[in-house]
Structure 1
Amino acid sequence: MSKRDYYEVLGINRKADQKEIKQAYRRLAQKYHPDRNPNDKQAEKSFREISEAYEILSVKEKRNAYDQFGHSGIDGSQTNNNFNTGFTDIFGDVFGDIFGNNKNSNTPQRGSDLRYNLNIKLEEAIYGTQLNINVKKLVKCNRCNGNRSEPGYKNKYCPSCKGLGQIRMHQGFFSIQQTCHNCNGNGEIIEKYCIKCNGEGRINDKKKLSIKIPHGVDNGDRIRIIGEGEGGINGGKSGDLYVQLSIKPHKIFTREGKNLYCEIPINFVDAALGGILEVTTLEGNKVQLKIPAETQTGKQFRIKGKGVKSIRSNYPGDLMCKVIIETPINLNKNQKELLRKFKNSIDNNVI
């Protein structure tokens, strides 16, 4: 017997996205659910059919195989021909959203942790700062206070398990007791979901937070802010917010561990004869650096204690200054003549 097209079973077109597939399944599952159609063989058959269609179309790899090869592209291992097993698997996925595993569950659930990427300046990383950020997240619904039920409505007595939270199923000579899927073991179901959050218990919101950046943080460090992740459900705790730090490149200084690095341009006269240079540190202070005679370009000098005091150490690193000798430009006639004389004097000294 040939199978019906899965898209036809769910009443959707072949370009439907996952949200549309899920919505179609929820609608049909509610209609043909065995608990709502006891002893109805046709409803049971329809439910098995839509469950199989959803099982294939809700998984990207299975859907691609079906789109390309049809039913022949789905082997026996990809579909669940056993009704009871497939029924349980799907209950744990989307079907639970309708009949118990999620929306009807009164079990407190912790909110998810969130990650926020924050770019900061090198100065802010080294000396610390206070910054404001705006975080988009799910927060407790202020209409139902997170309990998912529309104000003014009380939870209903579950008709499937008669308030016991357990149901007994008969399979041949055996009788099995299991958690009621209609109320997820609570013995009651929500009569009407909150119209603001659609029974989710949470709504989207944007919150402004003030973040303290301690001194000495490095690229890739994370700051944990407890309780500022997504809000919990049914009184569950909120998750945490992790602020991931990225340090913007500086136009003068680079950082390696606790040391700072920079390049210092000097003229060739100071490089040849030596002298005292004035170096501006990252914090804006002026320090003197002694350059010995006959210094070559690329030579590196250390200024102690002018690097970074890391978050893990009280001892600061150093400022490493690399000398770059600059060739003079825009020389006047007299300067060029002096350089020629200097060159001749050097050439005459060459043996």
Structure 2
Amino acid sequence: MKHCLFVPKFTYILRGSHFWKHPTLISNLDNLILETLTTVFNISFGERTWTQASLPVRLGGLGIRKISSVALPAFLASVHGAQNLIGKILAPSLGVLEAAHCSEAKNVWSLTCPNTDPPVNPCSQRQWDEPLCRLTRNSLLETALSPTDRARLIATAEWESGLWLQALPSPTIGTLLDNSTFRLATCLRIGASTNMPHRCQCGVMVDNLGHHGLSCSRSAGRIPRHASINDVIRRAFVSAKVPALLEPNGLVRDDGKRPDGMTLVPWSMGRPLVWDATCVDTLAPSHIPGTKVDAGAAASSAESLKRRKYVNLGSSYIFAAFGVETLGPWGPSARRLYKELAKRLIEASGDQRAGLYFAQRISIAIQRGNAASLLGTLPSGLDLGQIFYL
């Protein structure tokens, strides 16, 4: 959507004219984009949700930009990029000239971003755009409607949280989200309504945001999500030439439970690696005190708990907890394992994007689990098995 929708097709006009000086035209075009998104996504966008959706993915948005946000940075980058050519054409006869409206545009940018230095590379549209985007995101954080809203905004700005939006949507390789899953994942990301208020099957009232389903004691998505994440991890090990199996025998905890997986050959220092994955709810009431301050706090806490449970595993194994959250952030241990596994995937396949593909599959598995959890609170009907391709 972000590559084929209106703004990319309109970039030439934005870069080649002072379109930023015509707010009425810009407003009409922004409304057209919003109407299109509302129709295609089947989501009701409010002012805050539309503002967040228009941010780049790296800052918690959907990457579908507003014309009003892009017009000024596009013009400034284009003007500075063409300045040398303008000088070569006009300087011999007319001296040093500046492109029309350039000074005015720089003044507007400086007033909008006070105490911010101009870009090191003024020809880069991203460097002009980044301070404006961060101002918008900071404004959303400062005006957060609740601690839960703040925790959501912090979590969605993490790199791992937007990976499902970067994946190639292909049914052949299992990375295509069905319409319902995509809509619910988008709603959770931008804070839009997912459903009408209703009573969950556990008896608790569910509000229009649907967050209860993510932490419900009868969550319909928890078990298939856990299985899907572990299957992705195991397949990644196998692709990296490290045979692995799930739920190995002989490594039972005191409570009778087994870890999620183990490599069958040494991983490092002559020892096999044992991993245990978990996905915790970013927005659960018990996690909000941490997640409203630090992204990934809930995942980090879950990883610490996993390490305590496997403290008696022994020195013959390397243990790695793989903690992730429902809104996307990963824990420190998961990031370390990902970096090492991504490096080996690249070495084994020769594809520099192999590690990224692995991370995207984890992200997609989380979104499918979220969708199944939200739909599982409804009174009837949908076969949740179709969400997962297992």
Asked if Structure 1 and Structure 2 have the same fold, meaning a TM-score greater than 0.5 normalized by the shorter chain, the answer is: no
Higher helix fraction: Structure 1 or Structure 2? 2
With the length of structure 2 as denominator, give the TM-score of the two structures.
0.20
Higher relative contact order (Cα pairs below 8 Å, separated by 6+ residues): 2
With the length of structure 1 as denominator, give the TM-score of the two structures.
0.22
Larger Rg: 1
Higher strand fraction: Structure 1 or Structure 2? 1
